[in-house]
């Protein structure tokens, strides 16, 4: 359910964690706390794409690799996230990788983004560095 100001209330988190948005990605998007792991940051970034929260995407993108325009595509809708693998990226790590598949659609056309994302700690906080598309079965 979407409440005032587009906030998700009492709903499962879009990231697919199985937790409610209010305790999962919500606190990260509202800047109430920082991500503890690279995967948690990646899930919050997926949720930001779903909810079109460009500010969260800018805040969590390494300034060295962030494009000048970080705005979500109004015509694209995200349909689900599946985390396939993770390497490092834990609370004590400085770098990490997360491999995921994110399903989307544009009109009646459906697609899958299969990416290996790289993350690093910057000033003690996880940030997205870059990603490479994975090839193979989706």
Would you state the pLDDT for residue 10?
72
Buried b or exposed e, range 22-55, using 16+ CB within 10 angstroms = eebbbebbeeeeebebbbbbbbbbbbbbbbebee
pLDDT digits (tens, 9 = 90+) for 5-17: 555 457 999 999 9
Would you state the pLDDT for residue 48?
98
Would you state the pLDDT for residue 1?
47
Q: What is the SS3 assignment for 53? A: coil
Would you state the pLDDT for residue 135?
82
Write down the domain spans for the chain.
4-133
| CATH code 3.40.630.40 for 4-133 | no
pLDDT digits (tens, 9 = 90+) for 27-77: 999 999 999 999 999 999 999 999 999 999 999 999 999 999 999 999 999
Which residues are bridge partners to 95 per DSSP? Answer: 120
Would you state the pLDDT for residue 6?
55
């Amino acid at each position: 359910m979407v409440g005032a100001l587009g906030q998700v209330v009492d709903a499962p988190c879009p990231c697919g964690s199985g937790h409610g948005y209010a305790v999962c990605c919500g606190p990260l998007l509202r800047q109430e706390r920082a991500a503890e792991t690279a995967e948690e940051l990646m899930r919050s970034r997926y949720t930001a794409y779903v909810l079109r929260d460009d500010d969260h995407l800018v805040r969590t993108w390494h300034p060295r690799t962030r494009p000048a325009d970080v705005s979500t595509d109004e015509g694209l809708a995200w349909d689900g996230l599946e985390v396939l693998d993770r390497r490092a990226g834990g609370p004590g790590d400085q770098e990490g990788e997360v491999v995921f598949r994110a399903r989307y659609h544009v009109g009646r056309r459906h697609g899958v983004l299969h990416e290996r994302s790289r993350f690093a700690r910057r000033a003690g906080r996880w940030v997205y560095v870059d990603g490479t598309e994975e090839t193979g079965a989706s």
